């Protein structure tokens, strides 16, 4: 062997060993800092994850103006440094006030639409200080002013202005007025009312969960939802706040991140939204009730921040400041959004709690529409993760109580929707008779990787995806004989990943 080749060979061996050592070290570091728990990871091959700093998420989509980034940096420093930091604290900072003055800002966040009807709607706004808020509606040559409503310290500087006297299936441009001054907007702000209840027009509702902050900046996905003509969007948890436990300042910082994402600003000003929470925007992963080490006061604080950051018409037992469950009516759909976090004690039967269970039965019996959309933040079926953090582990008897109540009372048209387990999966839930339920999960607003999307042993599965942006969508098909609904799982490119038409008669016990 030529000796000239010996040294390079030894060097190559040493380099190979070094490379293997480095790879093994990197592998161990990955296991240490990024454990295999499915909810730690973002989109496949994507840098965003649950630990990503909110300031990095604001920059990621490359759509947020420099002025908004500077404002958020200043606000984040204030809110993150104080466990009880509030939006009112922002204007006590000279540096934040200077930014507001330089940028000519008049509001902190909004508008956000909700409570949509054929003749009504509501608009949410968050101001910079206690203020009088109104909404101006223009239709043809007429101008109407609604309000005033006062944003106060007690409401976290938020105000919800109710608007009525509108006409069905009509577009109404609107503007926000604060303390008598019209607030300019970079996006078109418009309310589109629902068709009349007996109208033959289709009504469409989108739904999904788990954007986990960064998904709310996906303009392509949110524009897809809007341009498909969805009349409303149901958000089932893990939306804007990420594992902040009792740090109310960081809860508020995360909601401000949401409100400064241009994709969300545009979407929420045009598409009415309805929200419920799950574990990550409650306290942290899998937490419920009063988590160990926390108090009823902490839980009340988290609930209050959530309540004043959305535009639902109600939030649980408001007289007792408990829960955030709600009932809505969107055209032909009765919407019941349950709260599977607030009331849990760890004991069987506490998944929803007795008071919410009683309320749910009353609402189911009271529904008048042809279809009922019944939501739960976690999954109704137990296939995925063996029912971890959902009904199968915590309260199978309570789930059976709901299903049996629906059957015994002949309640038709119930569609189950869910979230939590990253990805999207659908199942049928057979019952003893020929009747059965359908569950549609679309926990894919953030394209995050979760448990297996499919399994050959899941013999009632309809669809399953993972690591893709997608949302669920119901389209109502009116009929005097047997109305139907079309469910579609829609990708961000508009492709129909799964589609199923279900007649009301199929959902009649």
Q: What is the pLDDT of residue 16?
A: 40
- Asked if 191 and 113 touch (Cβ cutoff 8 Å), the reply is yes
User: What ranges do the domains of the chain cover?
Assistant: 192-507
pLDDT digits (tens, 9 = 90+) for 251-260: 999 999 999 9
Residue 398's H or E segment, with its range, is helix 396-408
pLDDT digits (tens, 9 = 90+) for 180-229: 999 999 889 999 999 997 767 889 999 999 999 999 999 999 999 999 99
Measured in residues, the chain has a length of: 509
State how far the alpha carbon of 467 is from the alpha carbons of 16, 235, 442, 453, 479, in Å: 34, 19, 12, 9, 37
With a pLDDT cut of 70, the percent of the chain lying above it is 91
Q: Average pLDDT over the chain, rounded to whole?
A: 91
Q: What does the pLDDT average to over 283-307?
A: 97
Query: Considering the entire predicted model, what is its pTM?
Result: 0.91
Q: Which of 491, 493, 489, 496 is nearest to 473 (CA)?
A: 489
pLDDT value at 21 more than 80? no
Q: Which of 368, 356, 370, 371 is nearest to 401 (CA)?
A: 356
Q: What is the pLDDT of residue 37?
A: 34
pLDDT digits (tens, 9 = 90+) for 449-500: 889 999 999 999 999 999 999 999 999 999 989 999 999 999 999 999 999 9
Q: What is the pLDDT of residue 139?
A: 86
For 242, counting Cβ atoms within 10 Å of its Cβ (0-12 exposed, 13-18 middle, 19+ buried), the class is buried
List, as own/partner pairs, every contact residues 386-393 make where C-beta atoms lie below 8 angstroms and the sequence separation is at least 24, other chains included: 388/286, 389/279, 389/286, 389/420, 390/340, 390/420, 391/351
For 121, counting Cβ atoms within 10 Å of its Cβ (0-12 exposed, 13-18 middle, 19+ buried), the class is buried
Distance CA 161, CA 176 (A): 10
pLDDT value at 13 more than 50? no
Distance CA 290, CA 300 (A): 10
Give the pLDDT band (50/70/90) at residue 29.
Answer: very low
Q: What is the pLDDT of residue 50?
A: 84
Q: What is the pLDDT of residue 434?
A: 78
Q: What does the pLDDT average to over 74-91?
A: 98
Provide φ and ψ at 439, rounded to 5°: -115, 130
Q: What is the pLDDT of residue 45?
A: 53
Q: What is the pLDDT of residue 10?
A: 35
Give the pLDDT band (50/70/90) at residue 12.
Answer: very low
Distance CA 34, CA 252 (A): 26
Q: What is the pLDDT of residue 48?
A: 81
State how far the alpha carbon of 415 is from the alpha carbons of 91, 186, 389, 411, in Å: 46, 38, 21, 11
DSSP SS3 for 462: strand
Q: What is the pLDDT of residue 348?
A: 82
- Asked if 122 and 160 touch (Cβ cutoff 8 Å), the reply is yes
Distance CA 244, CA 299 (A): 12
pLDDT value at 273 more than 80? yes
State how far the alpha carbon of 222 is from the alpha carbons of 48, 389, 448, 493, in Å: 18, 28, 16, 11
Give the pLDDT band (50/70/90) at residue 433.
Answer: confident
The pairing of beta strand 204-208 with beta strand 232-235: parallel
Q: What is the pLDDT of residue 207?
A: 98
Q: What is the pLDDT of residue 35?
A: 36
Provide the total of helices (H) and of strands (E) in the chain, helices listed first.
13, 21
The mean-pLDDT minimum among 8-12, 235-239, 312-316, 323-327 falls in 8-12
pLDDT digits (tens, 9 = 90+) for 353-382: 999 999 999 999 999 999 999 999 999 999
Distance CA 493, CA 356 (A): 39
The pairing of beta strand 142-151 with beta strand 131-139: antiparallel
Q: What's the distance, Cα to Cα, between the start and end of the chain in Å? A: 85
Give the pLDDT band (50/70/90) at residue 1.
Answer: very low
Distance CA 235, CA 404 (A): 27
Q: What is the pLDDT of residue 242?
A: 96
Q: Which of 125, 89, 85 is nearest to 105 (CA)?
A: 125
State how far the alpha carbon of 405 is from the alpha carbons of 94, 239, 398, 502, in Å: 58, 31, 11, 21
State how far the alpha carbon of 339 is from the alpha carbons of 84, 123, 165, 282, 402, in Å: 24, 23, 32, 10, 14
pLDDT value at 415 more than 70? yes
The mean-pLDDT minimum among 24-38, 98-112, 181-195, 413-427 falls in 24-38
With a pLDDT cut of 90, the percent of the chain lying above it is 83
DSSP SS3 for 362: helix
Q: What is the CATH number of domain 192-507?
A: 3.60.21.70
Distance CA 225, CA 206 (A): 7
Report residue 153 as tokens. 């310290």
Neighbours of 16 (CB within 10 A): 10
Q: What is the pLDDT of residue 49?
A: 83
Region for residue 316 given its phi and psi (left: phi exceeds 0; alpha: psi -120 to 50; beta: otherwise): left
Rounded to the nearest 5 percent, the helix, strand and coil shares of the chain are: 30, 25, 45
């Amino acid at each position: 062997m030529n000796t000239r080749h010996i040294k390079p060979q030894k060097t190559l061996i040493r380099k190979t060993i070094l490379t293997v050592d480095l790879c093994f070290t990197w592998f161990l570091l990955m296991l240490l800092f990024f454990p295999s728990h499915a909810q730690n990871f973002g989109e496949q091959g994507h840098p965003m994850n649950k630990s990503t700093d909110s300031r990095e998420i604001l920059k990621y989509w490359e759509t947020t103006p420099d002025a908004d980034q500077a404002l958020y940096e200043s606000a984040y420093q204030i809110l993150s440094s104080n466990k009880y930091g509030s939006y009112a604290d922002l204007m006590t900072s000279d540096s934040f006030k200077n930014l507001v003055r330089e940028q000519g800002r008049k509001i902190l966040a909004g508008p956000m639409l909700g409570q949509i009807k054929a003749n009504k709607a509501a608009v949410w706004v968050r101001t910079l200080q206690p203020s009088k808020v109104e909404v101006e509606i223009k239709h043809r040559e007429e101008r109407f002013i609604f309000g005033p409503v006062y944003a106060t310290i007690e409401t976290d500087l938020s105000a919800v202005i109710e608007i009525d006297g509108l006409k069905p299936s009509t577009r109404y441009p609107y503007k926000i007025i604060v303390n008598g001054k019209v607030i300019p907007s970079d996006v078109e702000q418009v309310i589109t009312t629902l068709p009349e209840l007996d109208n033959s027009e289709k009504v469409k509702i989108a739904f999904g969960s788990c954007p986990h902050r960064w998904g709310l900046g996906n303009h392509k996905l949110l524009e897809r939802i809007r341009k498909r003509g969805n009349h409303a969007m149901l958000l089932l948890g893990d939306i804007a706040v990420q594992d902040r436990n009792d740090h109310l300042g960081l809860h508020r910082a995360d909601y401000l991140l949401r409100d400064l994402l241009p994709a969300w600003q545009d979407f929420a000003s045009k598409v009415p939204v309805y929200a419920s929470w799950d574990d990550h925007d409650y306290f942290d992963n899998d937490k419920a009730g009063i988590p160990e080490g926390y108090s009823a006061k902490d839980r009340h604080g988290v609930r209050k921040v959530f309540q004043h950051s959305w535009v639902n018409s109600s939030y649980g037992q408001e007289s007792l400041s408990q829960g955030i469950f709600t009932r809505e009516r969107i055209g032909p759909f009765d919407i019941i959004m349950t709260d599977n976090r607030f009331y849990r004690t760890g004991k069987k039967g506490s998944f929803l709690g007795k008071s919410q269970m009683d309320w749910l039965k009353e609402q189911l019996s009271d529904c008048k529409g042809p279809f009922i959309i019944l939501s739960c933040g976690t999954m109704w079926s137990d296939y995925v993760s063996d029912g971890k953090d959902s009904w199968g582990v915590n309260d199978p008897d309570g789930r059976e109580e709901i299903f049996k109540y629906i059957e015994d009372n002949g309640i038709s048209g119930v569609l189950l929707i869910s979230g939590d387990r990253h990805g999207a999966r659908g199942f049928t839930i057979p019952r003893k008779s020929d009747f059965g339920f359908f569950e549609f999960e679309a926990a894919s607003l953030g394209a995050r990787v979760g448990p297996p999307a499919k399994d050959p042993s899941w013999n009632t599965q309809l669809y399953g995806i993972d690591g893709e942006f997608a949302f669920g969508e119901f389209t109502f098909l009116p009929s005097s004989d047997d109305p139907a609904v079309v469910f579609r799982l829609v990708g961000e490119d508009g492709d129909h990943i799964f589609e199923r038409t279900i007649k009301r008669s199929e959902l009649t016990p």
